[in-house]
Structure 1
């Protein structure tokens, strides 16, 4: 019987017990093993790293995955505890493994779980790899290989050693700041907060107990419901910075000493400018089509290129690995930098923002205001248009074939169909309409030079 297992931009996710079952995880793992035997035969002998988050049954699903691979003759390195996605991705790369597998649904609600795997360099699997695996899910395989060993290991030391090559630990040690770290009941505990403590920082850790219900609040650091307590604790403790991760620690959340939340777009701008201005590096910036144009303005000021990609970090990872991008980032909270690996890393992002605070010793919102004065104001938001699948298709087809000549009183100067339909306007503002692959809605991303103009743009977008 064919199984409905399909990979999105960040792996396969499904409801636990409905579609996310031990049988389906085993079928998917058998298909992945067949792929590795066919396309990664030599590296498959080195093995596969497996990690898992704090969700319901994640540890058991990880153990079942490990046993299935071992039965297929592939050695396994199984994390000794719930671990961040970046730790498993880096283990894949540093150990020279064929792939790494992470049992996680990232920032989805508690009733979900997921399964994602990496390329040998630790970046997200590309479409060719996921398509090849999908194509053989449910088939019977008979490799007739001896059962391979399962080795339990600690992925933390290798990731920390790597982070010391891309984060200025001396600046962190000299600053000895104060921070609040929110693990959101996920895997990040002992990573961001532990590293900062080792650098002499005073750190207050919150939500650090593993909880598959995530404290009954949203596990997405970008959700105000999630970062509200972090903001309150930063103010209460008079901390220099607040840092957070989602449950598998590949995304970040940043709060400054005033208790102000910084959006991922603002964080990416701070990070890229820091690499250029403070570290003195040079190189392009890679951003998704949905991400802020402030990165473009910063790049232009330093005579650097912008690499615009579809949504999905695999594209940004390729830009870092293959095109030398200093930074790859997306508005949903993903970031990585040159010298690291081509996957988003929330641990790296948190430490990089701590480094930026340590460099300036003032609220990060004030540092960002300096960027706005220098490069211009950029206001962005996202709205969802709830439409049936048929209405989605008609809207996107109409926009591609007959894009409007103007939006909100401004002439459309360019139409980009890299991923969805992006309309760039004469006044510098833009909007992107991108249909969801899993939900009956179209996501609309908007950016303008003022809050007033953003509202005008939003009003027009709702009537397109």
Structure 2
């Protein structure tokens, strides 16, 4: 048997290779042991996204948990999003939530995410407790789900209805629907498709049918994966006010303006702070990860808000939301995972997209005009990224050079100061910067740059790349 190790956001593996019924049983059994130790009356919400064999693995998880006396609230929906599982966990007062998903990973993968009772990622501490109890082999006699239902250990719940009602109670959907503006949504064949069809049946929707293989593409809402959607918006010649994209389990967001320009997470975070504080009058702390734009700090300074920078990973954002004891406004990471006050402490692509759509509909201003309002306060900027596939030896050499202060300049760019919270961020004299960080999951060195324009950022990246690889 393989040793099962959880990554930054769950356990993921290739279906039928390491992600098998037997291995899912092992993980579910360890989850049950953890739940029984931590809770007097342990319970869990269980569901799956649209990936291949999701219902099979969710059913196996359900049966193993029930066999150990854990009450299971099983999603009756064909598939659900991660935010639906997290919301269901809170609403059912469950001890945990489990979703079978590999999020934005390629179609060959599936995975197993654990959510805590508060409706956000389980802590690294709790994940370690589960990991440490995964048996090498497992031999369980399992009954059918119908039998566990009769025993009162399985109860089916409609998480889609629950989530749609939650959206309807928290947004002015009529303002969006009757704005006279066109809207578009790319589900990427992911778990957001049914909810968006129910909320907005008349908008332009693509990749919104069930395709467990995601048409062969990783359902990650980054610009290079969204050419078809981008072209639809551009061809509408302004008829579509904004395009929303969500990933495989609908917790990450991608966004387009009326001209078909991609609006990244850095800009979305700033728009959320601007709308929630300046327009809606809400207050609270802002949490952003180390790879996010420095403009977040600048906007928070302008608005008198506190911004706390964390290590990279949504779990650090969630920890502050749940445990800081302070009022919270917006928190997020560069990779498209964002949470806001008034919702669960969880990434939610649909929820964040609807806030921006409501902002557009209620102000009557285009998304590009709203972005310009941000620029008026913090200045224009662009953050770009290269993923460098390098040897392990070169990766370690670059990290060592960064640690020992060998990079005092990159070409004509002189390093004015350095930050090393999670990776190495080199600030230049004009406050543009480059950041170097090894991936925790891939043989890749990530290099980010921020400058006033996209062209400037790529120029920095090209200069730094040349030096790192020389």
Structures share a fold, TM > 0.5? yes
Quick check: 1:436–1:442 contact (8 Å CA) kept in 2? yes
Match of 1:459 in 2: 462
Query: How far did residue 26 of structure 1 move?
Result: 0.7
Mapped contact 2:241–2:367 kept (Cα < 8 A): no
- 1:270-325, CA deviations, whole angstroms, 9 ceiling, x for partnerless residues? 11111111111122211111111221121111011111111111111222333433
1:460 CA displacement: 3.4
Distance 1:76 1:306 in 2: 38
Task: Confirm or deny that 1:136 pairs with 2:139.
Answer: no
158-167 or 33-42, larger mean C-alpha shift: 158-167
Cα root mean square deviation, aligned: 2.3
Q: Please state how far the C-alpha of 1:142 moved relative to its aligned partner.
A: 10
Residue correspondence of structure 1 range 313-462 to structure 2 within 5 A: 313-321=314-322, 322=324, 323-462=326-465
Q: CA deviation at 1:410?
A: 4.1
1:144 CA drift (Å):
12
Give 1:278-293 correspondences, 5 Å limit: 278-293=279-294
SS at match of 1:41: coil
The Cα of 1:428 is off from its aligned counterpart by: 0.9
Deviation at 1:373, TM superposition (A): 2.8
Does the 8 Å contact 1:307/1:319 carry over to 2?
Answer: no
- Give the total of aligned pairs: 455
Q: Provide the C-alpha distance between the structure 2 equivalents of 1:193 and 1:362, rounded to a whole number of angstroms.
A: 25
- Equivalent residue number for residue 40 of structure 2: 41
TM score, norm. by length of structure 2: 0.90
Corresponding residue for 1:65?
A: 61
Work out whether 1:160 is the aligned partner of 2:157.
Answer: no
1:112 maps to 109
Q: 1:208 to 1:143 in 2, by over 3 A?
A: closer
Distance apart, 1:140 and its partner CA: 7.2
Change (3 A) 1:99 1:404: same
Deviation at 1:334, TM superposition (A): 0.9
Cα distance between partner residues in 1 of 2:184 and 2:456: 35
Q: Distance in 2 between matches of 1:142 and 1:59?
A: 21
Q: Which moved more, 1:368-377 or 1:106-115?
A: 368-377
| Unaligned ranges ≥5, structure 2 | 143-147
**C-alpha displacement at 1:402, in angstroms?**
2.5
- Matched residue SS, 2:116: coil
Give yes or no for contact 1:192–1:350 (8 Å, CA) kept in 2.
Answer: no
Give the Cα–Cα distance (whole angstroms) in 1 for the partners of residues 194 and 353 of structure 2. 13
Structure 1 residues 180-191: aligned runs within 5 Å: 180-191=184-195
Aligned with 1:102 (options 94, 99, 103): 99
Q: Partner of 1:59: helix, strand, or coil?
A: helix
The change in CA–CA distance for 1:330 and 1:407 in structure 2 (over 3 A counts) is same
Q: What is the CA–CA distance in structure 1 between the aligned matches of 2:62 and 2:369, rounded to whole Å? A: 48
Q: Aligned-pair distance for 1:174?
A: 5.3
Partner of 1:384, secondary structure, is strand
TM-score (norm 1): 0.92
Q: Which residue of 2 aligns with 1:209?
A: 209
What residue is the counterpart of 1:312 in the other structure?
313
Q: Is the contact made by 1:320 and 1:337 (CA closer than 8 Å) also made in structure 2?
A: no
Q: Following the alignment from structure 1 to structure 2, what is the Cα–Cα distance between the partners of residues 451 and 355?
A: 28
The question of 1:83 aligning with 2:87 is answered no
Pairwise CA distance, 1:98: 0.7
